[in-house]
């Protein structure tokens, strides 16, 4: 599969079908992959497909000029479709190299299960439904759902729906929704005042690094409301009140674009459970307007469309 | 606790320039009685109201926010209130999920001829706010008041 990817990417550049290739190359640390953005055909030899290619590459599309060939997992392809819906990207300017994704491995989960730091592990391999970890010469096996990212467990589209070249066999979606909805179900059961207290505590840790915003392919504003100074909507000082307002409003602004890809939660340096916000927003949008982000490139964006009769029970 | 008895809810109203604002005017000229707890901001259209305005109002200490516009189908800009409806609906649901009392964000359709309805809406919304009490969402104080008890 990797060989085919390299060939295809090289051919795209050689035949001048694209100006750029965006994909993954091995990271400098063990068990990592890092984004590779190149216009040199020799660099395509470094392209890889691995269970550690965690980034949502669609994020780079809004910052690049010219035609792009992009490696896309199911979730990335949804973000790309969402950008096409919003006219941020022309379909003909992007060549999607689709990768059916069996789910990405969460190193933090493996560390917790094995009780060792990632540097002390010898090897991690995916074998069908199992993930084998080699540590100190011994091999330990885990069921895949134990060590995959939470957002991968909720994945509704492992195989890209929108692609030009598909690498490998399509995979059927198998979302373990019960598992992925656990955190939200627990929150909804608690009384509202306690829920608010929960978020207060979580966001008192926030350092407002804006990693969530910068990693988000749906957050493509040239100028974010948090940086406006006249009026200054939120203070730049990371106090929980302003942190919380930032995240609430960010979630509302990306509603209908957010595909629940989990990037915000993955990049958060203080581990705020941001997917418990995005996932709920995703369900609210689906429930009220029967809209799933990034599924159909012909569909109008959520906020650019309306029906005559909807959500009337919320209005006096 | 003495403050509690003097407390009156503060309601911020975003009223659409074409319908609800004129409706509020009519309520005044036809001498309808409604609580004086509402402060009004005139907006060109209900779709001008970003969820950021609502959060900012709550952050500044307003106890509730009312967004009011033309009835669906009557928008001066044809489709503004349909868009507002989508945005307010998700904002309302999302804030409820976070733990904000649903009474704090209310929305209504009031036309320029519905002075009576405007008075009713403000009365009801203010009543709802009196029930849920002062907005302490963004205050530093603990919600359950355990700290205050330990001190006294």
Residues of B in contact with A314 (CB under 8 A): 88-89, 92-93, 107
> Do residue B94 and residue A194 have CB atoms under 8 angstroms apart?
no
> So what's the pLDDT on residue A178?
63
Residues of A in contact with B79 (CB under 8 A): 306
Q: What is the reported pTM?
A: 0.92
Shortest CA gap B117–chain A (Å): 10
A188 touches chain B (CB under 8 A): yes
Shortest CA gap B22–chain A (Å): 17
Whole-angstrom CA distances from A194 to A74, A200, A270, B14, B101 are: 36, 10, 21, 29, 12
CA A302/CA A136 separation, integer angstroms:
52
**pLDDT interval class at B143 (50, 70, 90):** very low
CA A91/CA B149 separation, integer angstroms:
63
> Do residue B85 and residue A311 have CB atoms under 8 angstroms apart?
yes
> Do residue B90 and residue A288 have CB atoms under 8 angstroms apart?
yes
**Residue from A2, A52, A60 nearest A26 by CA:** A52
A223 touches chain B (CB under 8 A): no
In terms of DSSP H, where are the helices of chain B?
2-6, 20-29, 51-59, 80-98, 115-132, 146-151
A251 touches chain B (CB under 8 A): yes
> So what's the pLDDT on residue B4?
61
A241 touches chain B (CB under 8 A): yes
B79 touches chain A (CB under 8 A): yes
Shortest CA gap A294–chain B (Å): 18
A290 touches chain B (CB under 8 A): no
CA A2/CA A146 separation, integer angstroms:
26
Inform me whether the pLDDT recorded for B85 exceeds 50.
yes
Long-range contacts of A79-84 (CB under 8 A, 24+ apart): A79/A217, A79/A218, A79/A259, A79/A261, A79/A294, A80/A162, A80/A294, A81/A161, A81/A162, A81/A294, A81/A295, A81/A296, A81/A297, A82/A217, A82/A218, A82/A257, A82/A259, A82/A293, A82/A294, A83/A58, A83/A217, A83/A220, A84/A297
The arithmetic mean of pLDDT across residues B140-146, rounded, is: 54
> Do residue B100 and residue A196 have CB atoms under 8 angstroms apart?
yes
Low-confidence ranges of chain A (pLDDT < 50): none
> So what's the pLDDT on residue B145?
43
* Higher-scoring residue by pLDDT: B152, A238: A238
> So what's the pLDDT on residue B149?
42
B107 touches chain A (CB under 8 A): yes
> So what's the pLDDT on residue A129?
85
Whole-angstrom CA distances from B88 to A82, A260, B67, B93, B122 are: 22, 21, 8, 9, 18
Residues of A in contact with B98 (CB under 8 A): 195-196, 199, 248
Nearest CA in chain B to A312: B85
Average pLDDT over chain B reads 90
> So what's the pLDDT on residue A144?
87
Option in B72, B82, B107 nearest A314 (CB): B107
> Do residue B59 and residue A249 have CB atoms under 8 angstroms apart?
no
> Do residue B99 and residue A315 have CB atoms under 8 angstroms apart?
no
Rg of chain B over Cα atoms, rounded to whole angstroms, equals: 16
A-interface mutation test, from B11, B41, B48, B52, most A Cβ less than 10 A away: B52
**B9-151, which class in CATH?**
alpha beta
> So what's the pLDDT on residue B72?
95
Domains of chain A: which residue ranges?
2-104+148-310, 105-147
A-interface mutation test, from B16, B20, B55, B103, most A Cβ less than 10 A away: B55
* Higher-scoring residue by pLDDT: A185, B75: B75
Nearest CA in chain B to A307: B82
Shortest CA gap B2–chain A (Å): 23
Can you state the percent helix, strand and coil of chain A, rounding each to 5? 40, 15, 45
A280 touches chain B (CB under 8 A): yes
Q: What percent of chain B has pLDDT over 70?
A: 89
Nearest CA in chain A to B132: A193
- Per DSSP, the three-state class of A246 is helix
Pick one of 1.10.10, 3.10.450, 3.30.70, 3.40.1660 as the CATH number of A105-147: 3.10.450
Give the DSSP letter of residue A311: S
The arithmetic mean of pLDDT across residues B30-46, rounded, is: 96
> Do residue B86 and residue A315 have CB atoms under 8 angstroms apart?
no
Nearest CA in chain B to A249: B52
């Amino acid at each position: 599969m990797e060989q085919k990817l390299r060939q295809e990417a090289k051919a795209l550049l050689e035949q001048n079908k694209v100006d750029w290739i965006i994909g993954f190359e091995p990271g400098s640390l063990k068990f990592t992959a890092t984004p590779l953005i190149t216009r040199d055909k020799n660099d395509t030899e470094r392209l890889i497909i691995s269970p550690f290619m965690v980034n949502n590459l669609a994020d780079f599309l809004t910052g690049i000029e010219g035609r792009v060939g992009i490696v896309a997992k199911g979730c990335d392809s949804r973000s790309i479709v969402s950008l096409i819906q919003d006219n941020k990207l022309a379909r003909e300017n992007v060549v999607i190299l689709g990768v059916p994704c069996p789910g990405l491995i969460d190193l933090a989960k493996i560390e917790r299960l094995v009780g060792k730091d990632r540097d002390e592990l010898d090897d991690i391999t995916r074998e069908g439904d199992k993930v084998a970890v080699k540590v100190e010469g011994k091999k330990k096996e885990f069921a895949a759902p134990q060590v995959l990212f939470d957002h991968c467990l909720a994945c509704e589209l492992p195989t890209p729906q929108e692609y030009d070249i598909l690498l490998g066999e399509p995979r059927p979606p198998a979302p373990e929704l019960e598992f992925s909805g656990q955190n939200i179900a627990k929150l909804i059961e608690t009384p509202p005042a306690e829920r608010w207290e929960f978020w207060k505590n979580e966001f008192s840790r926030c350092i407002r690094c804006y990693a969530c915003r910068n990693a988000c392919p749906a957050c493509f504003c040239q100028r974010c409301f948090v940086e406006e100074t006249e009026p200054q909507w939120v203070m730049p000082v990371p106090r929980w009140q302003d942190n919380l307002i930032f995240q609430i409003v960010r979630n509302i602004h990306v509603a209908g674009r957010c595909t629940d890809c989990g990037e915000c939660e993955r990049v958060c340096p203080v581990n705020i459970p941001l997917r418990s916000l995005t996932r709920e927003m995703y369900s609210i949008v689906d429930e009220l307007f029967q809209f799933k982000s990034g599924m159909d490139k012909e569909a109008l964006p959520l906020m650019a469309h309306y029906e005559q009769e909807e959500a009337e029970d919320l209005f006096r | 606790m003495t403050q509690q008895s003097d407390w009156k809810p503060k309601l911020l109203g975003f009223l659409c320039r074409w319908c609800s604002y004129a409706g509020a005017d009519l309520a005044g000229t036809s001498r309808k009685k409604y609580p004086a707890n509402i402060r009004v901001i005139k907006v060109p259209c209900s779709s001008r109201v970003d969820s950021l305005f609502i959060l900012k109002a709550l952050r500044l200490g307003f106890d509730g926010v009312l967004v009011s516009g033309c009835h669906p189908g009557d928008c001066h800009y044809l489709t503004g209130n349909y868009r507002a409806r989508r945005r307010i609906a998700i904002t309302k649901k999302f804030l409820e999920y976070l733990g904000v009392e649903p009474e704090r964000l209310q929305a209504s359709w009031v036309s320029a001829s519905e002075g009576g309805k405007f008075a009713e809406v403000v009365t009801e919304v203010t009543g709802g706010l009196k029930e849920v009490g002062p907005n302490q969402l963004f205050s530093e104080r603990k919600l359950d008041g355990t700290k205050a008890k330990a001190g006294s």
